[in-house]
Amino acid sequence: MLELNAVSARIAGIPVLRGISARFDAGGTIAVVGRNGAGKTTLLRLIMGFVPLLQGNAAFDGRDLATVPARDRVRLGIGYAPEDRVMFPTFSVEENLRFPCEVIGLSRRDVDDRLAQTLDIVPELKPMLPRSGAALSGGQGKMAALGRAIMAGERLVLLDEPFQGLAPVLAQQYSASLQRLIAARPRSCVVITESNRSLLGDVPTRTLVLERGELSQEAAPA
């Protein structure tokens, strides 16, 4: 599905990603683990098109991502839950969830269907729907950001360190949602970053290790 080939990126002139090659195939959850500053967030932002690709290439279903501007990547079925989650405070949680699908012009009916599927995958969101996007706790915000990424990311869901600071009960619910997500959408792939790999438990089907901007090894499946 997503193939990175010797990808490099710089931020403020400093090399942050160096010659990264990796395949992200459907039907699994791929963890990218690495210390603080290793480049995990930059990798996800590069896939979203928020960080320019300096060298190498990235292809999604064989299509060169260099030809797809950031604003069109959601249309490819890529959803993203950033580290700092960002919910629109003047929207309800439901409006926040629907928003990316509305922006890409999905019909009301399709958005309703996706919302129903998302609520099956993350049932904890149901009671939150009418609440303001500004009225969520940190953990609830992470569940909502997961829901929003699932709504948009029919093929690829990118999650930046969702387990950081999540209480154990919520972390369990989050993991269960990821399992339901892959079961419900076998054609999709989940990429999850983490600096503390013990937080991931048995969630990943594959683990990549990012060290100072280089993908240093591919650990055996857990």
Ligand X SMILES: Nc1ncnc2c1ncn2[C@@H]1O[C@H](COP(=O)(O)OP(=O)(O)OP(=O)(O)O)[C@@H](O)[C@H]1O
Residues that bind Mg ion (CB under 5 A): 40-41
> In terms of CB distance, is 10 or 131 closer to ligand X?
10
Are 120 and 165 contacting, i.e. CB atoms less than 8 angstroms apart?
no
Strands (E), the chain: 2-11, 14-24, 28-33, 55-60, 63-64, 78-81, 156-159, 189-194, 206-211, 214-219
Work out how close the CB of 16 gets to ligand X at its nearest, in angstroms, rounded to a whole number: 4
**Sign of the dihedral defined by the CA atoms of residues 137, 140, 145, 148, in that order:** negative
Compute CA 161 distance to the chain's CA centroid, rounded to the nearest angstrom.
9
**Residue 220 interacting partner from ligand X, Mg ion, none (CB closer than 5 to 8 Å by kind):** none
Contacted entry of Mg ion, ligand X, none for residue 37, CB cut-off 5 to 8 Å set by kind? ligand X
Instruction: Give least dist CB 101 to Mg ion, A.
Output: 26
C-alpha atoms less than 13 angstroms from C-alpha of 129 in its C-beta half-sphere = 10
Of 45 and 155, the one with the shorter C-beta distance to Mg ion is: 45
Q: 11 contacts which partner out of ligand X, Mg ion, none, CB within 5 to 8 A by kind?
A: ligand X
**Shortest approach of ligand X to residue 7 CB, angstroms?**
13
Chain residues binding ligand X by CB under 6 A are: 11-12, 16, 34, 36-42, 83, 195
